[in-house]
Chain A
Amino acid sequence: MSSQQPPTELDRNVLTKTRDARATGVDDRFNSRLREAMGSTPFILTKFDKFMNWVRGSSMFILQFGIACCSLEMIHAMMIKHDVDRFGAGVPRASPRQADLIIVPGTIVSKFAPRMKRVYDQMPEPKFVVGMGSCTISGGPFQEGYNVVKGAEEVIPVDIHVPGCPPRPEALIYGIAKLQEQVANGETSPVVVKPYELEEFGNMPRDEIIEQLSDQINEDDLAMRYNWGDSP
């Protein structure tokens, strides 16, 4: 056991150096090259908004949100080898209330769209969306499916689209880096198309289909209405 052996020369050196640094209040650890570049003063002057944008862009908390095939490449982007955390965007949060960034990794179908909308609504502002893969652009290979929402933009606004089926992890990282760049420059303005909204069933325009369902769904239940005929 090392603690029972007498301390070596090296141990003594380290202990002394750290203790000295603490005692004098000048810790080596903070004497970075950045600090040197700033000269003698530890203050910088900047605009508050600019500072906040820089902070936001440099520390993205991603929502842990897997849907379909793309989520595997998303896992690979977060794990060993690709490790998106190198770029300050790799902390996956399981709760939407702690996340700034939602990556939508897969096909959105009618049953899931209202749930995804709810998850998005639960995220605190400011929040950002990266659409991953062709399915979130247009429905991708499943666009002609009777049950497939033709892209994430039909439900939530999207900042960055990463095309591919699925995109490689490198492509996703590039997309996230682009978003971080936008955020840091204060440039984000998501694409808003959103024809589908959650609304109370009673407020929907009455037509054949609503009449047919009126005994199944309560007036004040939330519902989402898909007008498939109007989709691209």
Chain B
Amino acid sequence: MSTLEEPEVEPDGLDIDAVHERLGDRVLDTEEHINAPGIIIRADEVEETLTILRDEFDFDYLACVSAEELPDRYETIYHLKQFADPTRELSIVVPTDRDRPISQSAAHVYETANWHEREAYDLIGIEYDGHPNLKRILLPDSWTGHPLTDDYNQDKPQVVSYKAHENPLLEHTKEDDGETMLINIGPHHPATHGVLHLKATLDGESVVDVEPDIGYLHRCEEQMCEQGTYRHQIMPYPDRWDYASAGIINEWAYARAAEDLADIEVPEYAQILRTMGAELCRMAAHFLALGTFVLDVYGEFNALSMYAIRDREKVQKLLEDLTGQRIMFNYLRLGGVAWDIPEPREQFFDDTRQFINEDLPESMDEVHDLLTDNEIFQLRCVDIGVLPPKQAKQYAATGPVARASGIDMDLRRDDPYGYYPELDWEVVTDDGCDIFSRVMVRVREVEESAKIVDQCIDLLEEWPEDEREIQANVPRTLKPDPDTRVYRAVEGAKGELGIYIRADGTDTPGRFKIRSPAYCNLSTLPVMAEGDFVADLIASLGSIDIILGEVDR
């Protein structure tokens, strides 16, 4: 079944000739990326070109912006997609001069480009002309140098300034109206789910402006992956991006990109194992999202957060049986998985069925009883933290956040991979656009994941014993051809988790860029929170379900 792993590379329905004709002289040259055709344009025609593509060719989704340094130039690649059909992809490549790396900003065409370009400026050093707020985003403001460039000296000392927190009332009150004040939420604050800093400006109790300040957990994941060899050394790191037990999904993102790059076919049996593992991970991640969200809106250690953690423990037990670890699974290998279902197989199947068919429906009843049917909870969440679909698309929100705004996109169905196309399940959407919808989408996705796991268990149980192939033949050292590029994504627990890799002919990637769903989803926070009360800001933040490891990478 060759259709399983390799989705068609040629985007069907995209008339590339029409694009060329419309863009005319703006097309300097073309190139082929594994996932999409690439069009090279001039650095001062970015805004114009992207506006045409957005308005006339329906490329309403800027999935990722990856910047890199090449021996003779700097390059920014805008990975365009369509929300209606994410397999229609187009890469816009913008080369810039080595001496003066200045490129026109796309932030006025796609809101999401704002953060992506700040990151590119921070790590690579490309300057974006016309960018509304071009300053460092992941590293401290006082950092010197751009670390993902070749001439960066890592041993050079750095100084990080730390201004003492002054009385915000004195220092930040605007001269002309004494009404607003700035409060810092985080970086150490129980409601920020880790180390996030929100600069919130309040007028009385309403939020007039909020700016997420990230980078408190920027632990150089891209550098680590660029140092590792494809075959084994990269795989442990994805577990540490979205560490809310979504490890197998993250590993799959890397595996999918690298397998496309090296042309590896994954056996069907391994695909089922991957699918089952990924859905167990999704359940664990959504339980955590639910548990921490009720902590945010209800207060410390209430019953529901305990129940959510109890259910997580059960999933983690199953995942531990399967992979050997509770959180950092390192279960996938390029071309397959590390090992089969543990012996005795019947026991694993029984345990999983017990959880899926007996325990889970019961705890879902509890969730609906305590949470979603609860009048107080509804008062707190309905019509608050609204994210209209148009803005969700502009900010490239994906995953439950987008689906709760009525955007019907799920890569498991729309850009099929693994064993998902063969299974019977639904994509959950809700058009409430508010906090309540986002919570509901997650709760219902847990039920859908359970359906998938149940079907996988049946398949695994009936699979003939001599055809249990868990690993394809993969060369010991992988050296993809130089200058091949691929951007591949999977549906992570938080949304589209994409990996861009440029091979440089060696056994390590030349550039490894992670498109993090939580990063893009977090950038929608100002849309949700501005105008609401400060307490609703916390609820909105909780409903986005960020994991800082994935935001900062």
A and B physically associate: yes
Which B residues are in CB contact (< 8 Å) with A198?
162
Bound Cα distance from A217 to B328, whole angstroms: 40
- Chain B interface extent, by class: 35 or more
Interface positions, chain A 121-153, Cβ under 8 Å from B, are: 135, 141-142, 144-148
User: In the complex, which of the residues B162, B194, B217, B227 contacts A144, with contact meaning CB atoms closer than 8 Å?
Assistant: B227
User: In the complex, which of the residues B188, B310, B548 contacts A65, with contact meaning CB atoms closer than 8 Å?
Assistant: B188
Q: Is A80's CB under 8 angstroms from B217's CB?
A: no
B338 in the interface (beta carbon within 8 A): no
Q: Is B328's CB under 8 angstroms from A213's CB?
A: no
A95 CB to nearest chain B CB (Å): 9
User: In the complex, which of the residues A68, A142, A209, A229 contacts B224, with contact meaning CB atoms closer than 8 Å?
Assistant: A142
B315 CB to nearest chain A CB (Å): 12
B18 CB to nearest chain A CB (Å): 44
B141 in the interface (beta carbon within 8 A): yes
Interface positions, chain B 525-553, Cβ under 8 Å from A, are: 548-549
A114-B162 contact, Cβ under 8 Å, with A69-B549, A142-B219: yes
Which B residues are in CB contact (< 8 Å) with A66?
193-195
Which B residues are in CB contact (< 8 Å) with A210?
159
Which B residues are in CB contact (< 8 Å) with A21?
none
Residue of B nearest to A225 (CB): B159
Q: Is B159's CB under 8 angstroms from A204's CB?
A: yes
Interface positions, chain B 294-333, Cβ under 8 Å from A, are: 300-301, 305-307, 309-310, 312-313, 326-328
A67 in the interface (beta carbon within 8 A): yes
A119 in the interface (beta carbon within 8 A): yes
Interface-side segment among B27-35, B235-243, B408-416, B452-460: B235-243
Which A residues are in CB contact (< 8 Å) with B141?
216
Mark interface residues in B140-165 (1 if CB within 8 Å of A CB, else 0).
11111001000010111111111110
Interface positions, chain B 154-208, Cβ under 8 Å from A, are: 154-164, 187-190, 193-195
Most A CB within 10 A of own CB, among B160, B161, B313: B160
Q: Is A72's CB under 8 angstroms from B219's CB?
A: no
B218 in the interface (beta carbon within 8 A): yes
User: In the complex, which of the residues B219, B244, B305 contacts A147, with contact meaning CB atoms closer than 8 Å?
Assistant: B219
Q: Is A225's CB under 8 angstroms from B157's CB?
A: yes
User: In the complex, which of the residues B164, B219, B223 contacts A222, with contact meaning CB atoms closer than 8 Å?
Assistant: B164
Bound Cα distance from A177 to B313, whole angstroms: 22
Q: Is A209's CB under 8 angstroms from B313's CB?
A: no
Residue of B nearest to A139 (CB): B219
Mark interface residues in A85-122 (1 if CB within 8 Å of B CB, else 0).
00000001010100000000011011111111011000
Bound Cα distance from A144 to B147, whole angstroms: 12
Which B residues are in CB contact (< 8 Å) with A114?
160, 162
Q: Is B160's CB under 8 angstroms from A223's CB?
A: yes
User: In the complex, which of the residues A94, A207, A224 contacts B190, with contact meaning CB atoms closer than 8 Å?
Assistant: A94
Most A CB within 10 A of own CB, among B143, B245, B288, B309: B309
A192 in the interface (beta carbon within 8 A): no
B139 in the interface (beta carbon within 8 A): yes
Which A residues are in CB contact (< 8 Å) with B158?
110, 209, 225-226, 228
B220 in the interface (beta carbon within 8 A): yes
Which B residues are in CB contact (< 8 Å) with A118?
162
B295 CB to nearest chain A CB (Å): 10
Which A residues are in CB contact (< 8 Å) with B187?
112, 115
User: In the complex, which of the residues B143, B236, B288 contacts A72, with contact meaning CB atoms closer than 8 Å?
Assistant: B288
B455 CB to nearest chain A CB (Å): 28
A159 in the interface (beta carbon within 8 A): no
Bound Cα distance from A116 to B140, whole angstroms: 15
Interface positions, chain A 142-173, Cβ under 8 Å from B, are: 142, 144-148, 165-166, 168
B215 in the interface (beta carbon within 8 A): yes
Which B residues are in CB contact (< 8 Å) with A24?
none
B294 CB to nearest chain A CB (Å): 12
Q: Is A146's CB under 8 angstroms from B223's CB?
A: yes
User: Secondary structure at chain B's binding surface: helix, strand, loop or mixed?
Assistant: loop
Which A residues are in CB contact (< 8 Å) with B220?
142, 144-148
A213 CB to nearest chain B CB (Å): 5
Q: Is A111's CB under 8 angstroms from B243's CB?
A: no
User: In the complex, which of the residues A145, A147, A217, A227 contacts B161, with contact meaning CB atoms closer than 8 Å?
Assistant: A217
A212 in the interface (beta carbon within 8 A): yes
Which A residues are in CB contact (< 8 Å) with B139?
110-111, 147
Which A residues are in CB contact (< 8 Å) with B306?
79-80
A60 CB to nearest chain B CB (Å): 17
B196 CB to nearest chain A CB (Å): 10
Residue of A nearest to B317 (CB): A81
B395 in the interface (beta carbon within 8 A): no
A97 CB to nearest chain B CB (Å): 12
Q: Is A146's CB under 8 angstroms from B147's CB?
A: yes
Bound Cα distance from A71 to B236, whole angstroms: 18
Most A CB within 10 A of own CB, among B195, B312, B327: B195
Bound Cα distance from A21 to B206, whole angstroms: 55
Q: Is A67's CB under 8 angstroms from B195's CB?
A: yes
Further pairs besides A110-B140, A213-B142: 16, Cβ < 8 Å: A65-B188, A68-B194, A69-B328, A76-B309, A79-B309, A80-B310, A141-B224, A145-B223, A146-B223, A147-B218, A213-B159, A217-B159, A223-B161, A225-B159, A228-B154, A228-B158
A sample of 29 inter-chain contacts (CB < 8 A) reads: A64-B190, A69-B243, A76-B312, A79-B305, A111-B140, A111-B216, A115-B188, A115-B195, A135-B219, A141-B224, A141-B237, A142-B219, A142-B220, A145-B219, A145-B223, A201-B161, A210-B159, A213-B161, A217-B161, A221-B162, A221-B164, A223-B142, A223-B161, A224-B160, A225-B157, A226-B158, A226-B160, A228-B155, A228-B157
